[in-house]
Every structure is written in C-alpha cells, then in structure tokens.
Structure 1
Amino acid sequence: MTNRRGPNHRLRAMLTEAGWTQEALARAVNTLGGEIGTVLRYDRTSVAHWLAGTQPRHPAPHLAAEALSRRLGRAVTPEAAGFSAGVREAPPLDPVTGFTTLCRADSDTSRRRPLHQRPYRVAEAVVPGPPPAERPAVPGPRGEGTAALHDAVSFFAASIDTHGGRHARSALAAYLADDVTPLLAQRRSGRARRELFVLASRLAFLLARMYEDGLLHGAAQRYYAFAHQLAGEVGDRTAWSVVLRAMSGQAQRLGHLAPAIQLAEAAREGVRDAPPAQQAYVQAQLAVVLGLGGDRRGALAALRLAERAADRATCAAAPFDAYPVAALHFQTSAVLEALGDLPGALAALRRAAGERSASDVRGRALTQARFGQLLLRTGHLDEACAAWESFVHAQERLRSGDAERALRQMRQALRPYRNRGRAAELLARTVQAR
C-alpha cells in the first residue's frame, strides 16, 4: 500500500453499481493477476483499505479498473475508479511510431515491467474494420534486404514450437527494436514496402504468441494489435485476418466468448480470397467459438469448410504459409468437445497426436495434456495417466506458461485418485509444480 488520501467515493459508487462486495472485487483482481503471470492475494480487507483512501501499488489500480470494466460493460480507467494510475500509456500513435515505441520499451529492461503488468482489456478486443485490399506481399521471391527477416520468422516460429513461448522472447523483442523498426521508417514503395510490413507483422504476431504462452496476456494483446495494424497499412487482408484469428483464440481462452466470435467472423470475411491454408486456419477457430456459443449448425459448417480448405492446401514448409494437419485435428477435437461429442473429440485428439511433428514439442505436450483430461472425463484413468506421462515428459523440456498451467490442471484432476498407482506416481513426480 502507498499513501492515504480521503475516502474513495468513486470506487464505492462503482462497487454499488456493479453489485459487488469488497470480497468480489478482490477475487476479480486476483484472477486478473493470473492473466499477467502474477499471484495476487488481495482480500476484503485490502479493498476496505482502498475504499478508505489507501492507494494500492501498481499494477493493482489497472487490474481493478479492468475488473470493473468487465463487470460494468464499459471502459473504466484507474482515475475513474478513484485511483492514481501511476503508469500511463502514451496516446495512440500511427502504427509504425507506436510499434517502434512499444518495441524499444520492451527491449529496455528498466522500462519493460509496466508492459508485462498490463492487463488484457476486453474493451480493446474489438473488431477493426478490414483494410482496403491490395495485392498480397507474399508468397513470392524474397525482396531485397528482407532475407534476414524471412529467416527470423522461421527461427522464432520454430523456437515457440520446440522450446515454448518463454524461450528467446527478449531476443525477439530486441531484434524488433534494433533491426526491424528502423527498416519500417525507411521510405519504400510498392511490393518492397508491402513485403517488409507483412514480415514485421508476422514477427509482432510471434512475439504476441510468446507473451500469450507466457501468460502475459496484456502484452500479447498489444503486439497482436500492432500486428494487424501493420498488415492493414499495406492492405494485406490475409495477414490481417490471420492476426484476428489469433486474437479470437486469445479472447476465447480467457473466457470472453462474444469478442472471440466477432473477431473470428471478421477474420473469416478477410480470408475469402486467401490461400486454402489460411482459410482452414481461420475457419477452424470460427468453428470452435461457434461451438462454444451453442451454434451447432454453424460450428459444423465452419469445420467442414476448414477441412475442405485443408484438403486443397499445398504443402509448405514456411510458417504462415501452411496449416498443419495436427493443428486442424486439435481444433476439431475442441469443436466436438464443445458440442458434447466426447468420443469424437477423443478420436480427433488421437489423430492430432499421431500427426504432430517431432519438433513440435509444445504442440505434442498440450495435445497429450488435453487427451488426459478427456480420457479421465470418460472414466479411463489408466489411459489418462499414460497420456499425462507423455505430457510430463515433454513439458519438462519446455518453457511454456500454457504447459505449466496444464500441469497444474493435471494435478488437480488427479488428486481424487492420489492413492491409485499411476496417479500417485504422477503426482509424486510433479510435486514441485503447484
């Protein structure tokens, strides 16, 4: 806690409007702490102090404001809730300047912390208007001066799959700040400019994925936003839609289904003329969120379109140009699980596990983790433990927040069976992962 001022009448009024107790606000702030990778233990007494005028330390004011925003359905700033914001974000800038500012702050260890403590903001999970369509920058021969960027995209995409999102994250942030953003400021025209901006968008997308896998969702949201803005600047609707699809997935995983559906639907509109692989990638996510929303017919229709597009796609090794069959099976499983077809979901996960590349350690780990959960739900404890044993073996090689969360979920699911052979062994093996 910091300095005390007069009673916080604004916060009290908002609690009344929200219909929340002091304990409810504390729980919501603690939950948001999990979205920035921080364990918080605020309680009713903490909120009572805030109401009396004590100013909590950063990032609590921003987390409390976001919690109230979600509850009230409108944007609430820390100041509106009676707090001193402390760390303020600069006003919106043009995409290049804003992206440059963000990358430089992220690569500076003395300025990085506020970015990492930024909450995911539901009010910003909005559907942007599609960019005016121009001729896509890729695929095609590598332009002059961009070979290194193509190699960087391949390297960092492979790093996420093999080592997890927490590996090489600061390296990508520094690369963007030192090597990529200066190129964006140079005067280029035509195809060279389009290619450069799309490659920068892809690198921003990959850093967003790293932050998301590290459970730093606010930072991920900011990079996703600049990724779609950079693609939009050069009218590449395919690249723009791919980012919106990922933004939909993030909103879905955080439990914000309405914006997840809106983002997925906007992405679908943007890939109507895209290559089949990108169409499959987008349609598969749309199928998942429609299934979660109870639209069975829409979900199955989107899934069929994803499968047909995947069948038409040509083999491609470069990231962003291919949609792996294993990933489609994984999404198919999520659709079928949402629609209540657990046997079908299990069958799709088996296919996903069989198709995963040996280098996709993260994908294999998360597939086996979900396989274990579904097997246990259907009463197959021994098979679930076998799947989880494979998961734990892969998870030990990763630096991934998603994998660590899956490990905690596994332990929670196995606690009722802690006296049963293989379950007891798994719990003992992972005793430090709590």
Structure 2
Amino acid sequence: MTNRRGPNNRLRAMLSEADWTQEALARAVNTLGGEIGTVLRYDRTSVAHWLAGTQPRPPVPQLAAEALSRRLGRAVSPAAVGFAADVQEAPPLDSVTGFTALCRSDGDASRRRPLHQRPYRVAEAVVPALPPAAPPESPAPRAEGTAGLHDAVDFFAASIDTHGGRHARSALAAYLADDVTPLLGQRRSRRARRELFVLASRLAFLLARMYEDGQLHGIAQRYYGFAHQLAGEVGDRTAWSVVLRAMSGQAQRLGHLAPAIQLAEAAQEGARGAPPAHQAYVQAQLAVVWGLGGDARGALAALGRAERAADRATAAASPFDVYPAAALHFQTSAVLEALGDLPGALGALRRAAGERSADDLRGRALTQARFGQLLLRTGRLDEACAAWECFLHAQERLRSGEAERALREMRQALRPYRNRGRAAELLARTVQGR
C-alpha cells in the first residue's frame, strides 16, 4: 500500500450511502477477488486504513468500486471511491478497433496483468440490441484464406474440453493478436467478410470460455462482449445468440440472476430460425435461469423445446454446430435441481456421465463433481465418494479453475465426515495432491 494525504471522505460517503460497515466492504472485496482468481483476506482494519488515506494496490481500487456498484445499483468508478485506477478504459471507436486493442494488450506479457485483474462488471451485463439479420445465403465453400481459422476453432474448442481452460490460453491470445485481427480490416466480399467475422467471433468466444474457466471473469466478460459485437457486425444472429447464451451462463454462475435471465431471453430471440442444435443450446440455458427464478412452468416448457430441438439436430463437423446430449442432460439436471426434484436431477446427471465423450475430460470431471454433491445431499455418502473418486481421476489431469473450485467444494462438503473411511481417504488424497 502507498500513503495518501488526508482522509478518504469519498469512500466514507460511499459506505454511508450503501449502508455498509467496514467489515461488509472488506467481505465484498474478498468475494470479488475470487472472481479474478485471487485470494484476498481483507478485514475491517484494512478498510479503516483506506478511510484514513492509505491507497491499496491494484486490483483493490477496481474491486472496491465494483462492490459498491453492485450494492448501489449504479456504476461507481475507483475515482468516485477516492482511489486511483491503474488502467483507464477508453471506449473504442468500433468493434474491430476495440477488439484489436484488447488482443494486442492481452498478447503482450508486459501489459496483460491489469487486464486479468479487471472485475466482472454487473453494470455491463446488459442486453445488446438485436442486430439486423444478414440476407440469407446459399451454402458455399469456405472463403479463401480461412482454412487456418477453421482449424484453430476446432483445435482450441477441443483443447478446453480435453485439458481445461488454462491450457493454451496465451497461445490463443497471441494467435488472435498476430494472425486474426490484422485480417479484419482487409477488404473482402460480403460473404467472405461475414465468414471471417464469425470465425473471429468464435475464437473470441473460446478465449472468453478459457478465461471464465480460469476464474478470470472480468477479462472473460470483455471477450464475450467483442464476440457478440463481431457476430452482430455481419448480421449473424445465430452466432450472436450463442454468445449471449454463454454470457447468461456466466452471470448465472456468479449469482446475478436478473441479467442472466435477460441475456438468455435475448439469446432466444436471436436464435429464432437458427439450426436445431443452436436452439437446443439456447433453450437449455433459458430453462435453467427460469427455473432458478421460480418460473417452473416456463422452465419446463423451455426444457421441452430444448429436447425437441436436440432430437431434430443432425451431425455437424464444427464444434459450434453441435450440442452434445451429455451437455443437455447436465442442464436438465440443473433445471430439475432448481425446481426441487433431486431424484430427477440425479437421473439426468447419470445420463450426462454416461454420454460424455472420452475426450471431454473437463465435462466428465464437472459432471462427477456435481453428482457427488447431489448424492451427498440425499444422504448417500458412499455413492458420493465414488462419484468424487471419478472426479479426482479426471481433475488431476486438467488445468481448469472450475475443476479446482469443484475440488474445494468437495473438501468443504466432506469435512463433517472426515472421520468416515472413504471420506477420510478422499480428503487425505487431496491434501497429498496439493
């Protein structure tokens, strides 16, 4: 920390307006630290120092501002809290300019750290306007010069499933900065430009997924934003809706249900007329957030639409044109759990586990981890331990923040049973594996 002259009256006024104690702000900052993969342990004495004029090191100014933004329901800047921000984000002139600047900064190791410390901003989890639809085009061969981009989409999508989001992340950031963004400003035919922008959108989407899986939610949010802008730029509503569906999932997992519902509903609007696999992907997420919001009828109706769309889907070569049955079963389990049907949720998870591809190591790990949690909630400790053993077997081979979070949740769930045989063995195994 560095000292500043005089008390921080702006922060004091913000705490008063938010009706927060110093301890409450410290807890909120610590929670936000988890959203950027950083363990923080601030307490009320830390906030007392800030009120006295001490300047905390980054990323605390940004985290404190976001915590107060969420509490007050409006955007609050670090300066409004009496802190200096280390990074000022100027709004880009257009999507290509902004995306290029972000990729170049992210691809530069000396400029990357502040980007990765950016918190997820609820005020920015807004529904973008539905883009004008591009005129329909008949199927055509791939545009010249895009074969490498198609291969990159396939490679990085498979990498996330097989190795986790922390694997090859910097490689994708560098690829976007060095090989993809220079192509976006080139003059091309309308068809070729659309294909290029959609491919760039998909690669941005994949990098967002990598960052989200690595618990770096702020930078993930930025890449999701540019992914939907690039798709919207060329009027591809299907690609646009896929991104909004993922943004809804991120907001939901972070506990922001209202924007998660709004984004899922917008994704549904954008997916009208989309191929069945895309509609299933979108409807499944809509079912989850409606279920969490207490709309049982709407959730089950959306789930039914997802299942019927999945039945109509045909085989496809691109990972963006397929919605695996295992993924749909996993979402089905989340819907049924939200509606209080634990036996149904367990049955859906069993089906998800049975249908996971052998290459989808991350999906298998997270499915088994969730299976263990639900089994324990129904009092079936031995079965839960068996599921968690399968989870650990996969988790140990992954570089995934989501899998690490599931490991922490497993340990917490098993602590009351630490003197029971299989539970004790699992806890000991995870300690030794650290």
Shorter-chain TM-score bucket reads over 0.9
Q: Which residue of 2 aligns with 1:142?
A: 142
Aligned positions of 1:327-338 closer than 5 A: 327-338=327-338
Structure 2 CA distance for partners of 1:42 and 1:137, relative to 1, 3 Å: farther
Cα distance in structure 2, aligned partners of 1:69 and 1:93 = 25
The superposition leaves residues 195-219 of structure 1 with CA deviations (integer Å, 9 ceiling, x where unpaired) of: 0000000000000000000000001
Q: Which residue of 1 aligns with 2:40?
A: 40
Query: Alignment partner of 1:263: what SS?
Result: helix
Confirm or deny: 8 A CA contact 1:325 1:352 kept in the other structure.
yes
Letter of the 2:169 partner, please give it.
R
Letter of the 1:325 partner, please give it.
A
The superposition leaves residues 111-164 of structure 1 with CA deviations (integer Å, 9 ceiling, x where unpaired) of: 000010000000000000010000467965211110000000000000000000
Cα distance in structure 1, aligned partners of 2:360 and 2:414 = 26
Letter of the 1:96 partner, please give it.
V
Moved over 3 A (4+): 135-140
- Tell whether 2:74 aligns with 1:74: yes
Q: Which residue of 1 aligns with 2:184?
A: 184
Confirm or deny: 8 A CA contact 2:330 2:367 kept in the other structure.
yes
Cα drift, residue 432 of structure 1: 5.0
Number of residue-to-residue matches in the alignment: 434
Cα drift, residue 25 of structure 1: 0.2
Confirm or deny: 8 A CA contact 1:11 1:82 kept in the other structure.
yes
Aligned positions of 1:26-175 closer than 5 A: 26-135=26-135, 140-175=140-175
Cα drift, residue 433 of structure 1: 6.5
Cα drift, residue 89 of structure 1: 1.5
The superposition leaves residues 52-107 of structure 1 with CA deviations (integer Å, 9 ceiling, x where unpaired) of: 11111111000000000000000000011111112212223310010000000001
Letter of the 1:413 partner, please give it.
A
The superposition leaves residues 394-415 of structure 1 with CA deviations (integer Å, 9 ceiling, x where unpaired) of: 0000000000000000011011
Cα drift, residue 240 of structure 1: 0.3
Query: Alignment partner of 2:79: what SS?
Result: coil
Q: TM-score, normalised by structure 1?
A: 0.98
Cα drift, residue 189 of structure 1: 2.7
Query: Alignment partner of 1:284: what SS?
Result: helix
Cα distance in structure 2, aligned partners of 1:387 and 1:340 = 21
Confirm or deny: 8 A CA contact 2:288 2:335 kept in the other structure.
yes
Worse-superposed segment, 137-146 or 21-30:
137-146
Query: Alignment partner of 1:255: what SS?
Result: coil
Aligned positions of 1:235-254 closer than 5 A: 235-254=235-254
Confirm or deny: 8 A CA contact 1:408 1:433 kept in the other structure.
no
The superposition leaves residues 249-287 of structure 1 with CA deviations (integer Å, 9 ceiling, x where unpaired) of: 000000000000000000000001100000000000000
Cα distance in structure 1, aligned partners of 2:418 and 2:59 = 38
Q: Which residue of 2 aligns with 1:365?
A: 365
Letter of the 2:110 partner, please give it.
S
Q: Which residue of 1 aligns with 2:353?
A: 353
Query: Alignment partner of 1:162: what SS?
Result: helix
The superposition leaves residues 344-391 of structure 1 with CA deviations (integer Å, 9 ceiling, x where unpaired) of: 000000000010000000000000000000000001101000000000
Query: Alignment partner of 1:110: what SS?
Result: helix
Aligned positions of 1:223-262 closer than 5 A: 223-262=223-262
Worse-superposed segment, 400-409 or 77-86:
77-86
Worse-superposed segment, 308-317 or 279-288:
308-317
Query: Alignment partner of 1:90: what SS?
Result: coil
Query: Alignment partner of 2:82: what SS?
Result: coil
Confirm or deny: 8 A CA contact 1:208 1:224 kept in the other structure.
yes
| Percent of matched pairs sharing the same residue | 88
Q: Which residue of 2 aligns with 1:270?
A: 270
Cα distance in structure 2, aligned partners of 1:283 and 1:139 = 26
- Tell whether 2:408 aligns with 1:405: no
Cα drift, residue 185 of structure 1: 1.2
Confirm or deny: 8 A CA contact 1:137 1:236 kept in the other structure.
no
The superposition leaves residues 178-237 of structure 1 with CA deviations (integer Å, 9 ceiling, x where unpaired) of: 000000011113100000000000000000000000000001000000000000000000
Q: TM-score, normalised by structure 2?
A: 0.98
Cα distance in structure 2, aligned partners of 1:189 and 1:217 = 36
Letter of the 2:410 partner, please give it.
M
- Tell whether 2:202 aligns with 1:202: yes
In structure 2, list runs of 5 or more residues that go unmatched. Answer: none
Letter of the 1:313 partner, please give it.
A
Letter of the 2:420 partner, please give it.
R
Q: Output the aligned Cα RMSD.
A: 1.1
Confirm or deny: 8 A CA contact 2:86 2:114 kept in the other structure.
no
Structure 2 CA distance for partners of 1:379 and 1:139, relative to 1, 3 Å: farther
The superposition leaves residues 9-61 of structure 1 with CA deviations (integer Å, 9 ceiling, x where unpaired) of: 11111101111000100010010000000011111111111111111111100
